[in-house]
Amino acid sequence: MADDKKSSESNQRKRFELLYDLGCAFSSHIEIEELFPFVVNKCCEVFEAGGASILLLDEEAQELFFPYVAETDAEVSSSLRELRIPADKGIAGSVIQTGRGVRVDNVKDSSKFLSDVDETTGFETQNVICAPLNTHLGVIGVLQVLNRNQGDFTDDDLAFLEALAGSAAVAIENARLYATVRESEQMLRVEVGALRRDLAHRDRFADMVGSGPAMDEVFQLMESAAANPITVLIEGETGTGKELVARGIHRSSARAQAPFVAVNCAAVSETLLESELFGHKRGSFTGATQDHRGLFEAAQGGTVFLDEVGEMPTAMQAKLLRVLQEGEIVRVGESQPRQVDVRIVSATNRNLEEEVEAGNFREDLFYRLAVFPIAVPPLRERRLDIPALCDHFVSKHRESSGCTGITEEALAVLVEHDWPGNIRQLENEIERAAVIAGKANAIELRHLSPKVRGATAGADPVKMAEPSSAPASTSEPIPLREARASFEAAFIRQALQNNDRNVSRTARVLGLSRVMLQKKMKDYGLRQESGTQKAGGK
Protein backbone atom coordinates (compact mmCIF):
# COMPACT_ATOMS: atom_id res chain seq x y z
CA MET A 1 0.00 0.00 0.00
CA ALA A 2 2.75 2.41 0.96
CA ASP A 3 4.59 1.69 -2.28
CA ASP A 4 1.42 2.25 -4.32
CA LYS A 5 0.82 5.57 -2.55
CA LYS A 6 4.40 6.66 -3.11
CA SER A 7 4.18 5.70 -6.81
CA SER A 8 0.90 7.62 -7.17
CA GLU A 9 2.39 10.73 -5.55
CA SER A 10 5.44 10.49 -7.80
CA ASN A 11 3.25 10.26 -10.91
CA GLN A 12 1.17 13.19 -9.69
CA ARG A 13 4.27 15.31 -9.16
CA LYS A 14 5.59 14.44 -12.60
CA ARG A 15 2.30 15.46 -14.15
CA PHE A 16 2.29 18.79 -12.34
CA GLU A 17 5.84 19.42 -13.52
CA LEU A 18 4.81 18.43 -17.04
CA LEU A 19 1.74 20.69 -16.82
CA TYR A 20 3.97 23.61 -15.84
CA ASP A 21 6.41 22.89 -18.66
CA LEU A 22 3.60 22.58 -21.20
CA GLY A 23 2.00 25.79 -19.94
CA CYS A 24 5.28 27.62 -20.53
CA ALA A 25 5.61 26.03 -23.95
CA PHE A 26 2.03 26.97 -24.86
CA SER A 27 2.59 30.59 -23.90
CA SER A 28 5.69 30.80 -26.12
CA HIS A 29 3.79 29.68 -29.23
CA ILE A 30 2.06 32.86 -30.36
CA GLU A 31 1.72 31.81 -34.00
CA ILE A 32 -1.63 30.04 -34.29
CA GLU A 33 -0.33 27.89 -37.16
CA GLU A 34 2.40 26.51 -34.84
CA LEU A 35 0.22 26.16 -31.75
CA PHE A 36 -2.39 23.67 -32.99
CA PRO A 37 0.01 20.91 -34.14
CA PHE A 38 2.08 21.43 -30.98
CA VAL A 39 -0.97 20.90 -28.70
CA VAL A 40 -2.20 17.85 -30.64
CA ASN A 41 1.20 16.16 -30.74
CA LYS A 42 1.90 16.82 -27.05
CA CYS A 43 -1.46 15.36 -26.01
CA CYS A 44 -0.76 12.14 -27.89
CA GLU A 45 2.67 11.96 -26.26
CA VAL A 46 1.55 12.76 -22.69
CA PHE A 47 -1.44 10.42 -22.63
CA GLU A 48 0.17 7.67 -24.74
CA ALA A 49 -2.83 7.82 -27.04
CA GLY A 50 -3.59 7.00 -30.65
CA GLY A 51 -4.93 10.41 -31.52
CA ALA A 52 -5.90 13.88 -30.36
CA SER A 53 -7.74 16.81 -31.84
CA ILE A 54 -8.92 20.33 -31.20
CA LEU A 55 -12.41 21.44 -32.19
CA LEU A 56 -13.19 25.16 -32.12
CA LEU A 57 -16.60 26.75 -31.78
CA ASP A 58 -18.04 28.90 -34.55
CA GLU A 59 -20.33 30.99 -32.34
CA GLU A 60 -22.32 32.51 -35.17
CA ALA A 61 -23.14 29.17 -36.82
CA GLN A 62 -23.08 27.25 -33.49
CA GLU A 63 -20.93 24.57 -35.06
CA LEU A 64 -17.68 22.83 -34.18
CA PHE A 65 -14.88 22.57 -36.75
CA PHE A 66 -11.31 21.25 -37.00
CA PRO A 67 -8.79 24.15 -37.25
CA TYR A 68 -5.89 21.74 -37.73
CA VAL A 69 -5.78 18.30 -39.38
CA ALA A 70 -2.77 16.01 -38.90
CA GLU A 71 -3.89 13.41 -41.44
CA THR A 72 -1.37 12.68 -44.19
CA ASP A 73 -4.12 11.53 -46.58
CA ALA A 74 -5.03 14.64 -48.65
CA GLU A 75 -8.63 13.49 -49.22
CA VAL A 76 -9.19 12.77 -45.52
CA SER A 77 -7.65 16.13 -44.55
CA SER A 78 -9.87 17.95 -47.04
CA SER A 79 -12.99 16.17 -45.73
CA LEU A 80 -12.14 16.95 -42.11
CA ARG A 81 -11.55 20.62 -42.87
CA GLU A 82 -14.99 20.82 -44.42
CA LEU A 83 -16.67 18.80 -41.64
CA ARG A 84 -18.95 20.77 -39.33
CA ILE A 85 -20.59 19.31 -36.20
CA PRO A 86 -23.61 20.93 -34.52
CA ALA A 87 -22.45 22.44 -31.22
CA ASP A 88 -25.16 20.58 -29.28
CA LYS A 89 -24.43 17.12 -30.76
CA GLY A 90 -21.92 14.42 -29.96
CA ILE A 91 -19.57 14.02 -27.01
CA ALA A 92 -17.75 17.26 -27.88
CA GLY A 93 -21.11 19.04 -28.13
CA SER A 94 -22.09 17.91 -24.64
CA VAL A 95 -18.82 19.30 -23.27
CA ILE A 96 -19.54 22.63 -24.99
CA GLN A 97 -23.04 22.75 -23.51
CA THR A 98 -22.07 21.82 -19.94
CA GLY A 99 -18.58 23.34 -19.79
CA ARG A 100 -17.33 20.17 -18.05
CA GLY A 101 -15.00 17.42 -19.20
CA VAL A 102 -16.17 13.85 -19.84
CA ARG A 103 -14.61 10.41 -20.05
CA VAL A 104 -16.14 7.69 -22.21
CA ASP A 105 -14.58 4.21 -21.97
CA ASN A 106 -16.52 2.66 -24.86
CA VAL A 107 -17.91 5.15 -27.34
CA LYS A 108 -20.15 2.56 -29.00
CA ASP A 109 -22.15 2.34 -25.78
CA SER A 110 -22.62 6.13 -25.67
CA SER A 111 -25.76 7.64 -27.20
CA LYS A 112 -23.88 10.92 -27.66
CA PHE A 113 -21.20 9.50 -29.92
CA LEU A 114 -21.34 10.63 -33.56
CA SER A 115 -19.74 8.28 -36.05
CA ASP A 116 -19.39 10.89 -38.84
CA VAL A 117 -15.74 11.64 -38.13
CA ASP A 118 -14.74 7.97 -38.01
CA GLU A 119 -16.55 7.34 -41.28
CA THR A 120 -14.67 10.26 -42.85
CA THR A 121 -11.21 9.30 -41.61
CA GLY A 122 -11.42 5.53 -41.32
CA PHE A 123 -10.24 5.94 -37.72
CA GLU A 124 -12.02 3.71 -35.15
CA THR A 125 -12.62 5.56 -31.89
CA GLN A 126 -12.69 3.27 -28.85
CA ASN A 127 -12.39 5.51 -25.82
CA VAL A 128 -12.05 9.24 -25.32
CA ILE A 129 -11.52 12.00 -22.80
CA CYS A 130 -12.73 15.46 -23.72
CA ALA A 131 -12.22 18.79 -21.91
CA PRO A 132 -13.55 22.31 -22.60
CA LEU A 133 -11.28 25.13 -23.73
CA ASN A 134 -12.37 27.77 -21.23
CA THR A 135 -11.37 31.44 -21.49
CA HIS A 136 -12.65 34.64 -19.90
CA LEU A 137 -14.91 34.95 -22.94
CA GLY A 138 -16.46 31.50 -22.35
CA VAL A 139 -15.94 28.10 -23.96
CA ILE A 140 -14.18 28.46 -27.33
CA GLY A 141 -13.91 24.75 -28.18
CA VAL A 142 -12.83 21.36 -26.86
CA LEU A 143 -9.63 19.35 -26.57
CA GLN A 144 -10.06 15.60 -26.92
CA VAL A 145 -7.71 12.61 -26.70
CA LEU A 146 -8.67 9.28 -28.26
CA ASN A 147 -7.72 5.60 -27.82
CA ARG A 148 -5.26 5.14 -25.01
CA ASN A 149 -2.60 2.66 -26.14
CA GLN A 150 -3.05 0.45 -23.06
CA GLY A 151 -6.37 0.17 -21.26
CA ASP A 152 -8.88 2.94 -20.62
CA PHE A 153 -8.38 6.51 -19.55
CA THR A 154 -8.69 7.25 -15.84
CA ASP A 155 -10.29 10.06 -13.85
CA ASP A 156 -6.77 11.35 -13.18
CA ASP A 157 -6.22 11.48 -16.93
CA LEU A 158 -9.39 13.55 -17.34
CA ALA A 159 -8.41 15.92 -14.52
CA PHE A 160 -5.00 16.36 -16.05
CA LEU A 161 -6.51 16.98 -19.51
CA GLU A 162 -8.84 19.63 -18.02
CA ALA A 163 -5.83 21.39 -16.47
CA LEU A 164 -3.97 21.07 -19.75
CA ALA A 165 -6.95 22.41 -21.70
CA GLY A 166 -6.98 25.49 -19.45
CA SER A 167 -3.42 26.35 -20.45
CA ALA A 168 -4.07 25.49 -24.08
CA ALA A 169 -7.19 27.69 -24.15
CA VAL A 170 -5.24 30.70 -22.91
CA ALA A 171 -2.53 30.02 -25.47
CA ILE A 172 -5.10 29.72 -28.29
CA GLU A 173 -6.82 32.94 -27.23
CA ASN A 174 -3.48 34.77 -27.07
CA ALA A 175 -2.52 33.43 -30.49
CA ARG A 176 -5.84 34.60 -31.89
CA LEU A 177 -5.36 38.06 -30.40
CA TYR A 178 -1.81 38.18 -31.73
CA ALA A 179 -3.03 37.22 -35.21
CA THR A 180 -5.70 39.93 -35.03
CA VAL A 181 -3.18 42.55 -33.91
CA ARG A 182 -0.72 41.48 -36.61
CA GLU A 183 -3.41 41.66 -39.27
CA SER A 184 -4.47 45.09 -38.01
CA GLU A 185 -0.84 46.21 -38.05
CA GLN A 186 -0.42 45.05 -41.63
CA MET A 187 -3.60 46.86 -42.66
CA LEU A 188 -2.43 50.01 -40.90
CA ARG A 189 0.94 49.79 -42.62
CA VAL A 190 -0.80 49.58 -46.00
CA GLU A 191 -3.11 52.48 -45.11
CA VAL A 192 -0.28 54.62 -43.74
CA GLY A 193 1.81 53.87 -46.83
CA ALA A 194 -1.09 54.93 -49.06
CA LEU A 195 -1.63 58.10 -47.00
CA ARG A 196 2.09 58.95 -47.15
CA ARG A 197 2.11 58.51 -50.90
CA ASP A 198 -0.99 60.66 -51.18
CA LEU A 199 0.59 63.30 -48.94
CA ALA A 200 3.77 63.20 -51.00
CA HIS A 201 1.69 63.64 -54.13
CA ARG A 202 -0.21 66.58 -52.61
CA ASP A 203 2.76 68.35 -51.07
CA ARG A 204 5.19 67.51 -53.89
CA PHE A 205 7.91 67.19 -51.24
CA ALA A 206 7.48 70.59 -49.61
CA ASP A 207 11.18 71.19 -48.86
CA MET A 208 11.99 71.07 -52.56
CA VAL A 209 11.24 73.96 -54.90
CA GLY A 210 10.67 73.30 -58.59
CA SER A 211 7.90 73.24 -61.16
CA GLY A 212 9.53 72.60 -64.54
CA PRO A 213 9.44 69.34 -66.53
CA ALA A 214 12.87 68.23 -65.27
CA MET A 215 11.84 68.52 -61.62
CA ASP A 216 8.40 67.03 -62.32
CA GLU A 217 10.18 63.88 -63.44
CA VAL A 218 12.31 63.89 -60.27
CA PHE A 219 9.19 64.24 -58.09
CA GLN A 220 7.47 61.37 -59.90
CA LEU A 221 10.50 59.12 -59.43
CA MET A 222 10.66 60.10 -55.74
CA GLU A 223 7.03 59.10 -55.25
CA SER A 224 7.65 55.73 -56.92
CA ALA A 225 10.78 55.13 -54.82
CA ALA A 226 8.94 56.09 -51.60
CA ALA A 227 6.25 53.51 -52.29
CA ASN A 228 8.75 50.64 -52.68
CA PRO A 229 11.73 49.41 -50.60
CA ILE A 230 13.99 49.63 -53.63
CA THR A 231 17.66 50.70 -53.49
CA VAL A 232 18.02 54.23 -54.88
CA LEU A 233 21.05 55.97 -56.43
CA ILE A 234 20.73 59.76 -56.71
CA GLU A 235 22.97 61.27 -59.37
CA GLY A 236 23.76 64.95 -59.81
CA GLU A 237 26.33 67.70 -59.53
CA THR A 238 27.46 69.07 -56.18
CA GLY A 239 24.85 71.32 -54.62
CA THR A 240 21.83 70.12 -56.62
CA GLY A 241 19.96 68.93 -53.51
CA LYS A 242 20.63 65.18 -53.57
CA GLU A 243 20.25 64.87 -49.80
CA LEU A 244 16.89 66.67 -49.97
CA VAL A 245 15.77 64.06 -52.48
CA ALA A 246 16.91 61.26 -50.14
CA ARG A 247 15.16 62.81 -47.13
CA GLY A 248 11.99 63.34 -49.17
CA ILE A 249 11.93 59.66 -50.16
CA HIS A 250 12.49 58.59 -46.55
CA ARG A 251 9.78 60.85 -45.10
CA SER A 252 7.23 59.56 -47.61
CA SER A 253 8.12 55.88 -47.17
CA ALA A 254 6.96 53.22 -44.70
CA ARG A 255 10.21 53.83 -42.76
CA ALA A 256 9.39 57.47 -42.03
CA GLN A 257 9.07 56.93 -38.26
CA ALA A 258 12.52 55.30 -38.06
CA PRO A 259 15.86 57.18 -38.23
CA PHE A 260 17.36 58.80 -41.31
CA VAL A 261 21.15 58.66 -40.94
CA ALA A 262 23.44 60.44 -43.42
CA VAL A 263 27.19 60.05 -43.88
CA ASN A 264 29.48 61.71 -46.41
CA CYS A 265 31.85 59.00 -47.60
CA ALA A 266 34.32 61.62 -48.86
CA ALA A 267 34.45 63.46 -45.52
CA VAL A 268 35.54 60.46 -43.39
CA SER A 269 39.01 58.96 -43.63
CA GLU A 270 39.34 55.41 -44.90
CA THR A 271 40.55 54.17 -41.51
CA LEU A 272 37.52 55.59 -39.68
CA LEU A 273 34.78 54.97 -42.27
CA GLU A 274 34.37 51.27 -41.41
CA SER A 275 34.03 52.05 -37.71
CA GLU A 276 31.64 54.92 -38.49
CA LEU A 277 29.37 52.71 -40.58
CA PHE A 278 29.61 49.33 -38.85
CA GLY A 279 30.83 50.15 -35.31
CA HIS A 280 33.71 48.64 -33.41
CA LYS A 281 34.54 46.51 -30.40
CA ARG A 282 36.35 47.91 -27.40
CA GLY A 283 40.12 47.54 -27.79
CA SER A 284 39.94 46.78 -31.52
CA PHE A 285 42.25 49.72 -32.27
CA THR A 286 44.02 52.56 -30.46
CA GLY A 287 41.44 54.88 -28.97
CA ALA A 288 38.60 52.32 -28.99
CA THR A 289 37.94 52.59 -25.26
CA GLN A 290 34.39 51.21 -25.44
CA ASP A 291 32.05 49.33 -27.74
CA HIS A 292 30.67 51.60 -30.45
CA ARG A 293 27.48 51.12 -32.42
CA GLY A 294 27.81 52.13 -36.07
CA LEU A 295 25.41 54.12 -38.21
CA PHE A 296 23.84 51.03 -39.76
CA GLU A 297 22.77 49.81 -36.32
CA ALA A 298 21.70 53.31 -35.30
CA ALA A 299 19.43 53.48 -38.36
CA GLN A 300 17.72 50.15 -37.61
CA GLY A 301 14.37 50.09 -39.41
CA GLY A 302 15.15 53.34 -41.20
CA THR A 303 17.32 54.71 -43.99
CA VAL A 304 21.09 55.11 -44.38
CA PHE A 305 22.07 57.85 -46.85
CA LEU A 306 25.56 57.37 -48.29
CA ASP A 307 26.53 60.68 -49.87
CA GLU A 308 29.40 60.73 -52.37
CA VAL A 309 29.42 56.92 -52.43
CA GLY A 310 31.78 57.06 -55.41
CA GLU A 311 34.54 58.19 -53.02
CA MET A 312 34.25 55.01 -50.93
CA PRO A 313 37.53 53.04 -50.70
CA THR A 314 37.64 49.70 -52.53
CA ALA A 315 37.97 47.67 -49.31
CA MET A 316 34.83 49.29 -47.91
CA GLN A 317 32.96 48.67 -51.14
CA ALA A 318 33.18 44.92 -50.55
CA LYS A 319 31.77 45.30 -47.04
CA LEU A 320 28.94 47.52 -48.24
CA LEU A 321 28.11 44.86 -50.85
CA ARG A 322 27.69 42.35 -48.00
CA VAL A 323 25.16 44.64 -46.33
CA LEU A 324 23.17 44.85 -49.55
CA GLN A 325 23.33 41.10 -50.24
CA GLU A 326 23.00 39.62 -46.76
CA GLY A 327 21.53 42.41 -44.65
CA GLU A 328 24.28 42.07 -42.06
CA ILE A 329 27.30 43.96 -40.76
CA VAL A 330 30.40 43.00 -38.75
CA ARG A 331 31.80 45.43 -36.22
CA VAL A 332 35.52 46.19 -36.35
CA GLY A 333 37.24 43.73 -34.02
CA GLU A 334 34.41 41.18 -34.11
CA SER A 335 33.75 38.11 -36.25
CA GLN A 336 30.06 37.57 -35.49
CA PRO A 337 27.75 39.22 -38.04
CA ARG A 338 24.80 41.31 -36.87
CA GLN A 339 21.54 41.54 -38.80
CA VAL A 340 20.38 45.03 -39.76
CA ASP A 341 17.17 46.18 -41.37
CA VAL A 342 17.94 49.38 -43.23
CA ARG A 343 17.22 50.90 -46.61
CA ILE A 344 20.26 52.24 -48.44
CA VAL A 345 19.94 55.40 -50.51
CA SER A 346 23.20 56.60 -52.04
CA ALA A 347 24.27 59.66 -54.00
CA THR A 348 27.18 60.59 -56.23
CA ASN A 349 28.43 63.50 -58.31
CA ARG A 350 30.59 61.13 -60.34
CA ASN A 351 29.72 59.00 -63.35
CA LEU A 352 29.92 55.61 -61.63
CA GLU A 353 29.78 53.69 -64.91
CA GLU A 354 32.99 55.43 -65.96
CA GLU A 355 34.47 54.71 -62.51
CA VAL A 356 33.62 51.02 -63.00
CA GLU A 357 35.35 51.00 -66.40
CA ALA A 358 38.38 52.70 -64.85
CA GLY A 359 38.53 50.05 -62.12
CA ASN A 360 37.83 52.52 -59.31
CA PHE A 361 34.41 51.15 -58.37
CA ARG A 362 33.16 47.59 -58.08
CA GLU A 363 30.84 46.60 -60.89
CA ASP A 364 28.73 44.28 -58.69
CA LEU A 365 28.27 47.05 -56.11
CA PHE A 366 27.31 49.56 -58.80
CA TYR A 367 24.50 47.32 -60.05
CA ARG A 368 23.31 46.79 -56.49
CA LEU A 369 23.23 50.53 -55.76
CA ALA A 370 21.85 51.71 -59.10
CA VAL A 371 18.68 49.62 -59.11
CA PHE A 372 16.58 52.80 -59.18
CA PRO A 373 18.59 55.83 -60.40
CA ILE A 374 17.28 59.38 -60.02
CA ALA A 375 19.12 62.15 -61.90
CA VAL A 376 18.82 65.60 -60.31
CA PRO A 377 19.26 68.32 -62.97
CA PRO A 378 21.74 71.18 -62.44
CA LEU A 379 20.35 74.65 -61.79
CA ARG A 380 21.40 75.96 -65.21
CA GLU A 381 18.94 73.49 -66.77
CA ARG A 382 16.03 74.74 -64.66
CA ARG A 383 16.35 78.53 -64.81
CA LEU A 384 12.61 79.06 -64.57
CA ASP A 385 12.81 77.68 -60.99
CA ILE A 386 15.34 80.32 -59.91
CA PRO A 387 12.76 83.05 -59.05
CA ALA A 388 10.84 80.61 -56.85
CA LEU A 389 14.08 79.43 -55.23
CA CYS A 390 15.13 83.03 -54.54
CA ASP A 391 11.72 83.69 -52.96
CA HIS A 392 12.15 80.58 -50.81
CA PHE A 393 15.64 81.52 -49.63
CA VAL A 394 14.69 85.14 -48.92
CA SER A 395 11.83 83.89 -46.73
CA LYS A 396 14.10 81.34 -45.06
CA HIS A 397 16.64 83.99 -44.02
CA ARG A 398 14.20 86.87 -43.44
CA GLU A 399 14.14 86.43 -39.67
CA SER A 400 17.91 86.61 -39.31
CA SER A 401 18.57 89.31 -41.92
CA GLY A 402 15.36 91.35 -41.96
CA CYS A 403 15.54 91.50 -45.76
CA THR A 404 12.12 92.04 -47.39
CA GLY A 405 12.56 90.75 -50.94
CA ILE A 406 14.55 91.09 -54.15
CA THR A 407 14.39 93.57 -57.01
CA GLU A 408 13.65 92.58 -60.60
CA GLU A 409 17.08 93.75 -61.77
CA ALA A 410 18.88 91.55 -59.23
CA LEU A 411 16.57 88.63 -60.02
CA ALA A 412 17.32 88.91 -63.73
CA VAL A 413 21.06 88.69 -63.06
CA LEU A 414 20.58 85.67 -60.78
CA VAL A 415 18.59 83.88 -63.48
CA GLU A 416 21.35 84.47 -66.07
CA HIS A 417 24.17 83.15 -63.87
CA ASP A 418 25.36 79.59 -64.61
CA TRP A 419 25.65 78.52 -60.93
CA PRO A 420 28.44 75.94 -60.99
CA GLY A 421 27.68 75.33 -57.30
CA ASN A 422 23.98 74.92 -58.10
CA ILE A 423 21.29 75.45 -55.43
CA ARG A 424 23.74 75.46 -52.54
CA GLN A 425 25.66 78.31 -54.19
CA LEU A 426 22.43 80.19 -54.92
CA GLU A 427 21.33 79.96 -51.29
CA ASN A 428 24.72 81.15 -50.10
CA GLU A 429 24.48 84.11 -52.50
CA ILE A 430 20.96 85.04 -51.31
CA GLU A 431 21.93 84.71 -47.64
CA ARG A 432 25.00 86.92 -48.15
CA ALA A 433 23.09 89.53 -50.15
CA ALA A 434 20.22 89.59 -47.61
CA VAL A 435 22.68 90.35 -44.79
CA ILE A 436 24.24 93.17 -46.81
CA ALA A 437 20.83 94.60 -47.77
CA GLY A 438 19.84 94.70 -44.11
CA LYS A 439 16.48 95.14 -42.45
CA ALA A 440 13.48 96.55 -44.31
CA ASN A 441 15.38 96.50 -47.61
CA ALA A 442 15.21 94.34 -50.70
CA ILE A 443 18.20 92.72 -52.37
CA GLU A 444 19.43 94.96 -55.19
CA LEU A 445 21.98 94.33 -57.90
CA ARG A 446 24.68 96.11 -55.88
CA HIS A 447 24.19 93.64 -53.01
CA LEU A 448 25.18 90.64 -55.12
CA SER A 449 28.72 89.33 -55.09
CA PRO A 450 31.15 90.66 -57.76
CA LYS A 451 31.43 87.19 -59.29
CA VAL A 452 27.69 86.99 -59.89
CA ARG A 453 27.38 90.61 -61.01
CA GLY A 454 30.33 90.16 -63.34
CA ALA A 455 28.62 87.32 -65.18
CA THR A 456 26.21 89.82 -66.75
CA ALA A 457 28.16 93.06 -66.32
CA GLY A 458 28.18 93.79 -70.05
CA ALA A 459 24.80 92.29 -70.86
CA ASP A 460 22.06 94.33 -72.44
CA PRO A 461 19.18 94.31 -69.93
CA VAL A 462 16.67 94.81 -72.76
CA LYS A 463 17.84 91.61 -74.47
CA MET A 464 18.09 89.78 -71.16
CA ALA A 465 14.68 90.45 -69.71
CA GLU A 466 13.07 93.43 -71.44
CA PRO A 467 12.66 95.39 -68.18
CA SER A 468 10.84 98.16 -70.12
CA SER A 469 7.66 96.19 -69.48
CA ALA A 470 8.32 96.17 -65.74
CA PRO A 471 8.42 99.01 -63.22
CA ALA A 472 11.22 101.37 -64.27
CA SER A 473 12.67 102.12 -60.89
CA THR A 474 14.44 99.62 -58.69
CA SER A 475 15.00 102.13 -55.91
CA GLU A 476 11.48 101.38 -54.67
CA PRO A 477 11.26 97.61 -54.16
CA ILE A 478 8.21 95.82 -55.56
CA PRO A 479 6.78 92.55 -54.20
CA LEU A 480 8.77 89.53 -55.31
CA ARG A 481 5.67 87.88 -56.76
CA GLU A 482 5.13 90.83 -59.14
CA ALA A 483 8.81 90.98 -60.02
CA ARG A 484 8.88 87.29 -60.79
CA ALA A 485 5.75 87.47 -62.98
CA SER A 486 7.12 90.51 -64.83
CA PHE A 487 10.44 88.83 -65.40
CA GLU A 488 8.83 85.58 -66.58
CA ALA A 489 6.63 87.46 -69.07
CA ALA A 490 9.64 89.33 -70.46
CA PHE A 491 11.70 86.14 -70.57
CA ILE A 492 9.00 84.25 -72.51
CA ARG A 493 8.47 87.23 -74.87
CA GLN A 494 12.19 87.32 -75.67
CA ALA A 495 12.28 83.54 -76.19
CA LEU A 496 9.35 83.76 -78.59
CA GLN A 497 11.11 86.49 -80.59
CA ASN A 498 14.33 84.48 -80.70
CA ASN A 499 12.40 81.51 -82.13
CA ASP A 500 10.33 83.41 -84.74
CA ARG A 501 7.24 83.12 -82.50
CA ASN A 502 7.18 79.37 -83.08
CA VAL A 503 5.37 78.07 -79.96
CA SER A 504 6.47 74.44 -80.23
CA ARG A 505 10.15 75.37 -80.68
CA THR A 506 9.99 77.96 -77.88
CA ALA A 507 8.36 75.44 -75.55
CA ARG A 508 11.23 73.00 -76.13
CA VAL A 509 13.83 75.71 -75.49
CA LEU A 510 12.13 76.75 -72.24
CA GLY A 511 11.61 73.17 -71.08
CA LEU A 512 7.81 73.53 -71.06
CA SER A 513 4.99 71.63 -72.71
CA ARG A 514 3.23 73.43 -75.56
CA VAL A 515 0.00 73.54 -73.52
CA MET A 516 1.79 75.08 -70.51
CA LEU A 517 3.50 77.71 -72.69
CA GLN A 518 0.21 78.66 -74.33
CA LYS A 519 -1.37 79.02 -70.89
CA LYS A 520 1.43 81.33 -69.73
CA MET A 521 1.17 83.35 -72.95
CA LYS A 522 -2.54 83.79 -72.29
CA ASP A 523 -1.90 84.77 -68.65
CA TYR A 524 0.65 87.39 -69.68
CA GLY A 525 -1.24 88.64 -72.74
CA LEU A 526 1.37 87.45 -75.24
CA ARG A 527 -0.13 86.90 -78.67
CA GLN A 528 0.88 84.06 -80.95
CA GLU A 529 1.99 86.01 -84.02
CA SER A 530 3.38 84.81 -87.35
CA GLY A 531 7.14 84.96 -87.62
CA THR A 532 6.85 86.40 -91.17
CA GLN A 533 4.55 89.29 -90.21
CA LYS A 534 6.22 92.69 -90.70
CA ALA A 535 5.72 95.83 -88.67
CA GLY A 536 2.79 97.82 -89.94
CA GLY A 537 1.40 94.73 -91.69
CA LYS A 538 3.76 95.01 -94.67
Q: Is the pLDDT of residue 19 over 50?
A: yes
pLDDT at residue 317, rounded to an integer: 92
Helix, coil or strand: residue 239 = coil
Residues 125-153 have pLDDT tens digits of 899 999 999 988 889 999 999 999 888 89
Helix, coil or strand: residue 180 = helix
Instruction: In the chain, list all ranges with CATH 1.10.8.60.
Output: 381-537
pLDDT at residue 249, rounded to an integer: 92
Residues 6+ apart with CB under 8 A from 244: 205, 207, 208
Residues 46-62 have pLDDT tens digits of 888 888 888 899 888 89
DSSP 404-453: -EE-HHHHHHHHHS--TTHHHHHHHHHHHHHHHH-TT-EE-GGGS-HHHH
Beta strands in 360-416 (DSSP E): 372-375, 405-406
* Residue type present at position 137: L
Q: Please report which confidence band the pLDDT of residue 528 belongs to, taking 50, 70 and 90 as the band edges.
A: low
Mean pLDDT of 259-274: 86
Identify the bridge partners of residue 56 per DSSP, sorted by sequence position.
65, 141
pLDDT at residue 196, rounded to an integer: 62
pLDDT at residue 236, rounded to an integer: 93
pLDDT, greater one: 285 or 86: 86
Compute the distance between CA of residue 317 and CA of residue 294 in angstroms, rounded to an integer: 16
pLDDT at residue 195, rounded to an integer: 65
Q: Please report which confidence band the pLDDT of residue 70 belongs to, taking 50, 70 and 90 as the band edges.
A: low
The class level of CATH for 381-537 reads mainly alpha
- Tell me if 139 sits within 8 A of 99, measured CB to CB: yes
Q: Is the pLDDT of residue 29 over 90?
A: no
The class level of CATH for 208-377 reads alpha beta
pLDDT at residue 368, rounded to an integer: 93
Residues 6+ apart with CB under 8 A from 258: 299, 300, 301, 302, 303
Q: Please report which confidence band the pLDDT of residue 115 belongs to, taking 50, 70 and 90 as the band edges.
A: confident
Q: Is the pLDDT of residue 36 over 90?
A: no
Q: Please report which confidence band the pLDDT of residue 11 belongs to, taking 50, 70 and 90 as the band edges.
A: low
pLDDT at residue 37, rounded to an integer: 83
pLDDT, greater one: 236 or 439: 236
pLDDT, greater one: 94 or 465: 94
> Quick one: CA dihedral 108, 113, 114, 118, positive or negative?
negative
Q: Please report which confidence band the pLDDT of residue 462 belongs to, taking 50, 70 and 90 as the band edges.
A: very low
Q: Is the pLDDT of residue 463 over 80?
A: no
Q: Please report which confidence band the pLDDT of residue 533 belongs to, taking 50, 70 and 90 as the band edges.
A: very low
Candidate ranges 66-80, 223-237, 290-304; pick with highest mean pLDDT: 223-237
Q: Is the pLDDT of residue 454 over 90?
A: no
Distance of CA 283 to the CA centre of its chain: 36
Strands 343-348 and 138-148: unpaired
Question: What letter would DSSP give residue 533?
Answer: P
- Tell me if 107 sits within 8 A of 92, measured CB to CB: no
Helix, coil or strand: residue 333 = coil
pLDDT, greater one: 22 or 368: 368
What does the mean pLDDT of the chain come to? Answer: 81
* Residue type present at position 285: F
pLDDT, greater one: 193 or 159: 159
Mean pLDDT of 80-90: 85
Q: Is the pLDDT of residue 486 over 50?
A: yes
Give the CA distances from residue 144 to residues 54, 72, 136, 183, in Å, rounded to whole numbers and listed in that order: 6, 20, 20, 30
Residues 277-311 have pLDDT tens digits of 888 887 777 777 777 888 898 889 999 999 999 99
Compute the distance between CA of residue 58 and CA of residue 384 in angstroms, rounded to an integer: 66
Give the CA distances from residue 488 to residues 223, 465, 491, 528, in Å, rounded to whole numbers and listed in that order: 29, 8, 5, 16
- Tell me if 205 sits within 8 A of 252, measured CB to CB: yes
Q: Is the pLDDT of residue 16 over 70?
A: no
Q: Please report which confidence band the pLDDT of residue 173 belongs to, taking 50, 70 and 90 as the band edges.
A: confident
Helix, coil or strand: residue 50 = strand
pLDDT at residue 470, rounded to an integer: 41
pLDDT at residue 25, rounded to an integer: 65
pLDDT at residue 493, rounded to an integer: 84
Q: Is the pLDDT of residue 120 over 90?
A: no
Q: Is the pLDDT of residue 343 over 50?
A: yes
pLDDT at residue 433, rounded to an integer: 93
- Provide the phi-psi class of 327: left if phi over 0, else alpha when psi is between -120 and 50, else beta: left
Nearest CA-CA partner of 147 in 121, 124, 164, 163: 124
Burial label, 231 (beta-carbon count in 10 A; 0-12, 13-18, 19+)? middle
Taking the complete model, does pTM exceed 0.85, yes or no?
no
Identify the bridge partners of residue 148 per DSSP, sorted by sequence position.
49
pLDDT at residue 176, rounded to an integer: 80
Name the strand (E) or helix (H) holding 53: strand 49-58
Q: Is the pLDDT of residue 193 over 60?
A: yes
Q: Please report which confidence band the pLDDT of residue 468 belongs to, taking 50, 70 and 90 as the band edges.
A: very low
Phi, psi of 135 (to 5 degrees): -130, 180
Residues 6+ apart with CB under 8 A from 160: 15, 19, 46
Angle between helix 408-416 and 386-396 (nearest 10): 120
Q: Is the pLDDT of residue 509 over 90?
A: no
Nearest CA-CA partner of 437 in 379, 391, 397, 488: 397
The class level of CATH for 11-179 reads alpha beta
